[in-house]
Structure 1
Amino acid sequence: MQLSTQSLKHQFLMAMPHLEDPNFAGTLTYLCDYDDDGTLGVVVNRPSDFTLKGLFEQLEIESEPGPHNEVIVYNGGPTYRDRGFILHRGNADDWDSSIQVADDIALTTSMDMLHAIAKRKGPEHYIVALGCASWKPGQLEDELKQNTWLTADGAAGILFDQPAEQRLSAAAGSLGVDLNLMTRDAGHA
């Protein structure tokens, strides 16, 4: 893969077993934006200790009763931990502060979606995360050259249909790879 000409947008970024950075060890990150300013993604397999109900209470958003209140909020990455990032199926044009990542996946950072979810009028499939992952221009490319990460095409089914604990292995499986069989020692031929 030629990184200089191919976008990393709508890619899964899988931490290789030897990556020991506590922010990223064992993570699956969905890359949402990739341009001359750098790369932005959301970690999608690190559940936090609280639910949307707790987030709604903290933000003083009234929520209707329902199972949406028990949806887990994710730790989306070490950057902007006080901001919400919502990955969802659907069209970015339906929400403020949204970007279309792929045909069927968008990223929204606006409160209008949280209010809609609280009122049970939001998208059917979504992941709410606090924080994101970001890389300066060229930084992620350098890390990829060092075999820190493995990439695979993004897929809505892995994001929204797989339980959090199975997303990393499902993304690796899309490449025919079992990360559990890989050594923790990095090497180059």
Structure 2
Amino acid sequence: MSSDNEKNLTATDGNLTGKILIAMPGMADPRFERSVVLICAHSDDGAMGLVLNRPLPEVDFGDLLAQLGIEADDSIRTIEVRFGGPVEPGRGFVLHKVPEHGDDPEGRVRIGRSLAMTTTRDILEDLANGAGPEAAVLALGYAGWGPGQLENELLQNGWLTGESADELIFGDSDQDKWSHALTVQGINPSVLSGAAGRA
């Protein structure tokens, strides 16, 4: 157990932007049970992230565009809509691939070398007409932490931190992402589940 705590302690020493959080078994908040969260911004002011493995099958991208008054043509892209987190559930965030070099327009936050988050209407209009980034997902709402809150949850062993991967962000198999995220970090999910007991 001490090695897990040490891993989380060292993870809090730096900025976690672009890293993932993997909910530990026994996560107290049911909204985040077995969740994988991409940290999109992290500073002394707090942190903001998007849940990567909670699809919203009842929300159709085309219907969402219609509600926003965005007209789609026959080349509309099929974009998965996910629950990004419990904060501001009516607000949308598009995670998408970007070229490694170049300027970021207003409304786009670069998370890694080739990954960004965009909050402007323009990207939805592009996707509605078959344009826009090659790989993209839409998240409604986000996960937020106040100053020191995420660091405290890490110290209490609520989350494991790890490296992100494209298949965790853009992959289709949401139900397997928690196990896959652990495997990517070199952790056997069944061992972790057995060692943690019940919440």
TM-score by length of 1: 0.89
- 1:185 aligned residue: 197
Q: Percent identity?
A: 34
1:24-173 maps to which residues of 2 (within 5 A)? 24-48=32-56, 49-66=58-75, 68-69=77-78, 71-91=79-99, 93=103, 95-173=105-183
Whether the 8 Å CA contact 1:28–1:168 is kept in 2: the answer is: yes
Ranges in structure 2 where 5+ consecutive residues have no aligned partner: 1-6
- Asked whether the equivalents of residues 159 and 167 of structure 1 are also in contact (C-alpha less than 8 Å), the reply is no
User: Could you tell which deviates more after superposition, 1-10 or 20-29?
Assistant: 1-10
CA shift in 2, pair 1:115/1:158, >3 Å:
same
Structure with higher strand content: 1
Show the counterpart of 2:25. 17
Q: 1:52 to 1:28 in 2, by over 3 A?
A: same
Number of matched pairs: 186
SS at match of 2:77: helix
Which has the larger displacement, 95-104 or 121-130?
A: 95-104
> What letter is aligned with 1:39?
A
2:37 and 2:53 mapped to 1: Cα distance? Answer: 8
The runs of 5 or more residues in structure 1 that have no matched partner are: none
Distance in 1 (CA, whole Å) between partners of 2:75 and 2:158 is: 41
SS at 1:100's partner residue?
A: strand
Alpha carbons 1:95, 1:113 under 8 Å: kept? no
Q: Structure 2 CA distance, aligned partners of 1:150 and 1:94?
A: 30
Q: Of Structure 1 and Structure 2, which has the larger fraction of its residues in helix?
A: 2
One-letter amino acid of the counterpart of residue 122, structure 1: G
In 2 relative to 1, CA 47–4 (structure 1 residues): closer, same or farther, beyond 3 Å?
A: closer
Q: In structure 2, what is the Cα distance between the partners aligned to 1:23 and 1:95?
A: 33
How far did 1:54 drift?
A: 1.5
Question: Is the 1:95–1:112 Cα contact (8 Å) retained in structure 2?
Answer: no
For the 8 Å contact 1:14–1:149, the answer to whether it is kept is: yes
> What's the Cα RMSD here?
2.1
CA distance in 2, matches of 1:151, 1:168: 12
